[in-house]
Chain A
Amino acid sequence: SAVISQKPSRDICQRGTSLTIQCQVDSQVTMMFWYRQQPGQSLTLIATANQGSEATYESGFVIDKFPISRPNLTFSTLTVSNMSPEDSSIYLCSVRKGAGGGYTFGSGTRLTVV
């Protein structure tokens, strides 16, 4: 399975600012996924990032709030823009290495907005 490095592991941010989370994979993957896990809740898919095209956002998530970059097949970033306390959550990136395999997750970014 792929190895994912995600950073930062945690951050405390002021409301109104933005944070960019980076995800680096040790091998090339077609699709990368960004999830949010709010306190006490399950993982919710934010968007799917394909290299060379715009990310596909799930219902309730928009590009202006969560812009995503995917400059190559091993790297992606998720930005949480104009943050409010409601954005406090764990953000995770994930990839699937080949059909039939499970998904591998990054270690997550614990974001606290104050």
Chain B
Amino acid sequence: AQRVTQPEKLLSVFKGAPVELKCNYSYSGSPELFWYVQYSRQRLQLLLRHISRESIKGFTADLNKGETSFHLKKPFAQEEDSAMYYCALMNSGGYQKVTFGTGTKLQVIP
């Protein structure tokens, strides 16, 4: 079974402080991992995915297979980063099921 754990329901940081949103996963194969973001009153949207090794809006995430983690990081938080963040895992089998974590609400304090 595949599982995604986001241990923090709420993370509050001051503007300019570093941000790390934690995500741990459980999956026996080689997963594909994503971070999704939902700003207030907007739809859920893809932030980044591990296979593309990209940096979006200053956020990065590195897949650590040894620790089965995919933490989302940003060196300097901005007020507009305040949102719900969901970590998601897609299995590598033929049936591509996506499992979402419970989400972390990031609150950036001005």
User: A residues bordering B, Cβ < 8 Å?
Assistant: 1, 31, 33, 41-45, 48, 56, 58, 92, 96, 100, 102-108
Q: When A and B form their complex, what is the total count of cross-chain residue pairs whose Cβ atoms lie within 8 Å?
A: 42
Residues of B within 8 A of A1 (CB): 46
Q: Evaluate whether A42 and B44 lie within 8 angstroms (CB atoms) in the complex, with A100-B51, A103-B98 already known.
A: no
Q: Which B30-88 residues have a C-beta within 8 angstroms of A?
A: 34, 36, 43-46, 49, 51-52, 86, 88
Residues of A within 8 A of B51 (CB): 100
Is the beta-carbon distance between A104 and B100 smaller than 8 angstroms? no
Q: How large is the interface on B (under 10, 10 to 19, 20 to 34, 35 or more residues)?
A: 20 to 34
10 residue pairs A–B, Cβ–Cβ below 8 Å: A41-B102, A42-B101, A42-B103, A44-B100, A45-B99, A92-B44, A103-B36, A105-B44, A108-B43, A108-B44
Residues of A within 8 A of B98 (CB): 33, 45, 103
> Min CB distance, A101 to chain B, in Å?
8
Is residue B96 within 8 Å, beta carbon to beta carbon, of the partner chain? Answer: yes
- CB-contact partner of B97 in A45, A102, A106, A107, under 8 A: A45
Task: Tell me, in angstroms, the Cα distance from A58 to B91 when the chains sit together.
Answer: 15
Q: Evaluate whether A43 and B43 lie within 8 angstroms (CB atoms) in the complex, with A96-B96, A102-B49 already known.
A: no
